[in-house]
Structure 1
Amino acid sequence: MPTRREGRTVRLLRCGDGSGRDVNAVRSSAASLATLAQEAKSCTRCPLYRNATQTVFGEGPADAKLMVVGEQPGDQEDIAGRPFVGPAGRVLDRALAEAGIDRTQVYVTNAVKHFKNEPRGKRRLHRKPTRSEVEVCKVWLLQEVAVVRPALVLAMGVTAAEALAGRPMTISRERGRALVFPDGQRGMVTVHPSSILRVPDEAARHQAYAGLVKDLKVALKTLQAV
């Protein structure tokens, strides 16, 4: 994962350079992810597929050291079939770049794979998934984590954090700290980029964004120490 530190490009360990995963293992992981994505396309385990255009599975390198997990796809993600391509995704891209992290080297996904929405005229309004919906969909997320085996999983927002931690979470209290999720996976939590977009005051919005960048820099330091 190319990163930038003190004006220089730093490359974190990846496949074939001492990271412990050879090329064949990564190819196998990529094939496993492709199989999972194909299986998820026909998922009807909860009712959310009924109002969604399609399943939006995760994407990124099969040997990514950093996995970023959000809540669910939004309207634009639902149409495109890719995670984090809408307004929140653009905030994430900018924050990752400012933190020195190349998004193309990050595996990005969501706790819920279908867009939960309420049709309102020509619009589709975002609705937060219930705990039961998150729990049902967690089977896909946990398999993604197991296949990619990232050095760090960054959960953005309370839905993703609780899905991974398996307990109630308060982002303001837990953010930026080293966590260990029940499966032994090293993790961190931060705010979801969409929450920054909802801040009405410009100064407060700038502060919230700076907090996200700060958390991403902490994540980068954690990865560099692994």
Structure 2
Amino acid sequence: MKHFKFTRSEPRKRRIHKAPTLREMTACAPWLAAELAAVEPELLVVLGATAGKALLGNSFRVTRVRGTLLEEEIHGRPQRLVPTVHPSAVLRSDDRDAAYRGLVSDLEVAARALE
């Protein structure tokens, strides 16, 4: 997903990313479909819940399927995917080492899927 917008959490606090609405994701879907058709990726690494929901629907939960190889129909084409957390989640984690190891483990699943 290429959608990006900020909101202020509190006065004088840092700005935080605000997830796109369903309407915004739906509006961007034709561009995403066109990019996937043009690139024809062998594998998609789905970084975070927003990307997962854009590809797999609103019921997607990254915590349920992270680090697994999925085969799904995306915009009318069969596609292999490996969902994981967004890398920024590692930076926000209370236990960065564990979060980093989990991300690396998920990416290793993606690497093996390409062998």
1:64 aligns with none
2:113 aligns with 222
Segment drifting more, 204-213 vs 134-143: 134-143
- The question of 1:116 aligning with 2:10 is answered no
Q: Contact conserved, 1:164 with 1:181, CA < 8 A, in 2?
A: no
Task: Provide the alpha-carbon RMSD of the alignment.
Answer: 2.0
Q: Within 5 Å, which residues of 2 pair with 1:55-134?
A: 111=1, 113-118=2-7, 124-134=15-25
CA separation in 2, counterparts of 1:177 and 1:187? 8
Q: Which runs of 5+ in 1 are unaligned?
A: 1-110
CA separation in 1, counterparts of 2:6 and 2:17? 5
Q: Contact conserved, 1:176 with 1:218, CA < 8 A, in 2?
A: yes
**Compared with structure 1, are the counterparts of its residues 125 and 196 closer, same or farther at alpha carbon in structure 2 (3 Å cutoff)?**
same
CA separation in 2, counterparts of 1:190 and 1:215? 6
CA separation in 2, counterparts of 1:175 and 1:161? 10
Give the AA of the match of 1:179.
L
2:49 aligns with 158
2:92 aligns with 198
Q: Contact conserved, 1:154 with 1:190, CA < 8 A, in 2?
A: yes
Segment drifting more, 138-147 vs 123-132: 123-132
CA separation in 2, counterparts of 1:196 and 1:131? 25
Deviation of residue 181 (structure 1)? 2.4
**Compared with structure 1, are the counterparts of its residues 220 and 146 closer, same or farther at alpha carbon in structure 2 (3 Å cutoff)?**
same
SS in structure 1 at match of 2:109: helix
TM-score (norm 2): 0.83
Give the AA of the match of 1:184.
P
Render the CA deviation track for 1:6-36: whole Å, top value 9, x for unaligned. xxxxxxxxxxxxxxxxxxxxxxxxxxxxxxx
**Compared with structure 1, are the counterparts of its residues 189 and 114 closer, same or farther at alpha carbon in structure 2 (3 Å cutoff)?**
closer
Give the AA of the match of 2:47.
M
Question: What is the number of residues matched between the two proteins?
Answer: 110
Q: In structure 2, which of residues 57, 61, 67 is the aligned counterpart of residue 176 of structure 1?
A: 67
Deviation of residue 173 (structure 1)? 1.4
TM-score (norm 1): 0.45
Render the CA deviation track for 1:93-149: whole Å, top value 9, x for unaligned. xxxxxxxxxxxxxxxxxx1x342123667x643211112211211221121111111
